[in-house]
Amino acid sequence: MNIEKLETTAHKIVSPGRGILAADESTGTIKKRFDQIGVESTEANRNGYREMLFRTPGFGDHISGVILYDEQFRAKARDGSPLISLIADADSVPGIKVDAGAKDQALFPGEKVTEGLDGLSKRMAEYAALGAGFAKWRAVIDIADGVPTRGNIVANAHALARYAAICQEHGVVPIVEPEVLMDGGHDIDRCFEVTEAVLNEVYDQLYLANVRLEGTLLKPNMVIAGKKSAKQASVAEVAEKTVACLKRTVPAAVPGIVFLSGGQSEEEATAHLDAMNKIGNLPWALSFSYGRALQQAALKAWGGKDENWSAAQRAFAHRARMNGLAAKGEWSEGLEKAA
C-alpha cells in the first residue's frame, strides 16, 4: 500500500473550491433521468451526455473528481478519446462505483445491505490499471419504526470497511458512503441520532480493517429532517447539527468530507454546504459529491440535442462554480441570482 499516493489523491479531491461530480448513475437510473426529458437511453446518448459535461470549458476549475459507472469508465468520446482521459486532462481524478447495489438483508425486514465484495479485489486491480484514482461504495440506512437495527448498521459498516481495505491494497482511495436516507417523516434530531450511530460504527469497522484514514474520504448525508416531516429545519440548524454530529464521530485524520445531496434541491444543497463552511475551525475539508444537484439544470438545458451543448455546459458550469464557492464558505444568494 502506497499511503503517500493515497493521501496525495485524497487531498487533491478536496482541494479548496473543488468537489466531485457523481456521474455514476446506473443504466436504469439514467434511463429515468432521460425519460423526464424525452430522450432515449441508448449507449450513444448516455456517453454523449457525459462527454458534454466533461468537455465543459473550465471543467476542472471546480470539479476535482468524477465518479463513473462501469460503462462510462470504459467508454470513448466521439473522437475516440476515452472518457476518463477527458477527466484527467482537466486535472480531475477519475473514480469508479464498485458496489453491486443495496439488497434486502436476510431476516431484517425492510432493511438493506450493499453487496459486491465477491471478486472485488480482481475488479479493483483492473480499475486501478485503467486509471481509477478513487472508488465509491454506498450503504443505505433507512429510518422508520424500529429501523435501523443495530444488526443492519453493523452489516453495512463491515462491508464498507472491507471494501475500503481492498481499495487501499490496490492504491485506490476509498470513498466511504453510509447514507442515512431523508425519505421518511423523521425530524432532524432523529436523523442526528441515527447518523451518529452509523458513523461511529463505520469508523470502528475501518479501524478493525486496518484502513489508513489519511487515505480515505467520507461521503455522508447531511443531518436533515425527512422529506415527509412536518417540521423542516432551517439552513443554519442543518449546518450546526451536521457539523456537531461529524465532530463527534469523524476522526481528524480523515482529509475531507464530500457530502451527498440526498434529494435536496440544487440551491438547498449549495446553501447547506456553504453554511457549514462558514462555521469554520473544522478539522477536515467539507466539499461536495453531488449528482442531481449538479446535473439537473444541465440535463434540462441539453434535452438530448447537440445544438444545446453550450447552454447545458453553461448551466453545469454555474452549478459547479456555486458549489465551489460553497466549499469555501463564500457563496451567497446574491451571487446565485447575479450569475
pLDDT in tens for each of the 339 residues of the chain? Answer: 899 999 999 999 999 999 999 999 999 999 999 999 999 999 999 999 999 999 999 999 999 999 999 999 999 999 999 999 999 999 999 999 999 999 999 999 999 999 999 999 999 999 999 999 999 999 999 999 999 999 999 999 999 999 999 999 999 999 999 999 999 999 999 999 999 999 999 999 999 999 999 999 999 999 999 999 999 999 999 999 999 999 999 999 999 999 999 999 999 999 999 999 999 999 999 999 999 999 999 999 999 999 999 999 999 999 999 999 999 999 999 899 876
- Please tell me what DSSP assigns to residue 87: H
In the residue annotation, 177 being an active-site residue is answered as: yes
Contacts 24+ apart (CB under 8 A), 313-316: 313/52, 313/53, 313/55, 313/56, 313/57, 316/53, 316/56
Judge contact between 185 and 237, C-beta under 8 A: no
Q: Which of 111, 177, 179, 201 is catalytic?
A: 177
Contacts 24+ apart (CB under 8 A), 70-76: 70/96, 70/97, 71/27, 71/43, 71/46, 71/47, 72/23, 72/46, 72/47, 73/127, 73/130, 73/132, 74/130, 75/43, 75/47, 75/50, 76/47
pLDDT value of residue 278: 98
Segment (H or E) for 64: strand 63-68
Distance of CA 227 to the CA centre of its chain: 20
pLDDT value of residue 339: 64
CATH code for the domain defined by 3-338: 3.20.20.70
- Is beta strand 93-97 parallel, antiparallel or unpaired with respect to 173-180? unpaired
Q: Which of 12, 136, 219, 241 is catalytic?
A: 219
**Pick from 117, 98, 242, 265: which is nearest to 172 by CA?**
98
What are the CA-CA distances from residue 83 to residues 20, 49, 60, 68, 127 (Å)? 16, 11, 14, 10, 14
Tell me the C-alpha distance between 333 and 320, whole Å.
15
pLDDT value of residue 207: 98
Q: What is the pTM of this model?
A: 0.98
Taking phi first (over 0 means left), then psi (-120 to 50 degrees means alpha), and beta for anything else, what does residue 110 get?
left
Judge contact between 92 and 66, C-beta under 8 A: yes
Name the CA dihedral angle for 5, 9, 11, 15, rounded to a multiple of 10 degrees: 150
What are the CA-CA distances from residue 79 to residues 46, 51, 83, 177 (Å)? 16, 10, 10, 34
